[in-house]
Amino acid sequence: RKEVEQDPGPFNVPEGATVAFNCTYSNSASQSFFWYRQDCRKEPKLLMSVYSSGNEDGRFTAQLNRASQYISLLIRDSKLSDSATYLCVVNGHNQGGKLIFGQGTELSVKP
Amino acid sequence: DTEVTQTPKHLVMGMTNKKSLKCEQHMGHRAMYWYKQKAKKPPELMFVYSYEKLSINESVPSRFSPECPNSSLLNLHLHALQPEDSALYLCASSHFSGSTDTQYFGPGTRLTVL
């Protein structure tokens, strides 16, 4: 089993759609959780850190369920500029800063 | 300002060449990282430096040699690379190398080995 697993994608959606990304992680001792977005041929950029209480930033909402070891990202009213690959990332416990990446889910928002 | 800079942006080298990739950050971060990313795959950790000391080497071949001259700079020296080493090389930094620190990535160096 992979340490971090994401929906395989790709997701193709029309503008204005709501998109949900799901991710599970295997190490229950994991400490911190992130969503990064990566545009084609660019570097990963932090989108959101994810907390147990859930957090929202405009159209983006992230949730963490530690009991189920499950992380989600919801994008509302999707825009063309949201097209990118979304990476679910987990920072393990006592792993010296090693990030564990999911395989990424590609999103394509069409007009 | 969460900026990490990397030079060069692109690099083409032969298998007998020696070259270096450079990374710089001025955020006062004490942890710096090298990642390798192949197309359609997530980044893979290569090395971690914490307080200018190598703390993690993910069994990287010796043809890749990291160096941290000071707290702001990170180099990756390349020698006798293979065509399969062609990839995007990403540098990242974080305040510390702890399990709750956010890592910020540089734009990467796209390396092609002929």
DSSP string, B10-77: EEEE-TT-EEEEEEEE-S--SEEEEEEE-TTS--EEEEEEETTEEEEE-S--TTEEEEEEETTEEEEE
Residues A97, B41: C-beta atoms closer than 8 Å: no
Nearest by CB: B33 against A49, A94, A97: A97
Q: Would you say A86 and A34 are in contact if contact means Cβ atoms under 8 Å apart?
A: no
Q: Which residues of A touch B50 (CB under 8 A)?
A: 96-97
Q: Which residue has the higher pLDDT, B20 or A28?
A: B20
pLDDT digits (tens, 9 = 90+) for B46-83: 999 999 999 999 999 999 999 999 999 999 999 999 99
Residue B90 confidence (pLDDT) above 80: yes
Residue B81 confidence (pLDDT): 94
Determine contact: A6 vs chain B, CB below 8 A: no
Residue B1 confidence (pLDDT) above 60: no
Residue B98 confidence (pLDDT): 80
pLDDT digits (tens, 9 = 90+) for A30-88: 889 999 999 999 999 999 999 888 899 999 999 999 999 999 999 999 999 999 999 99
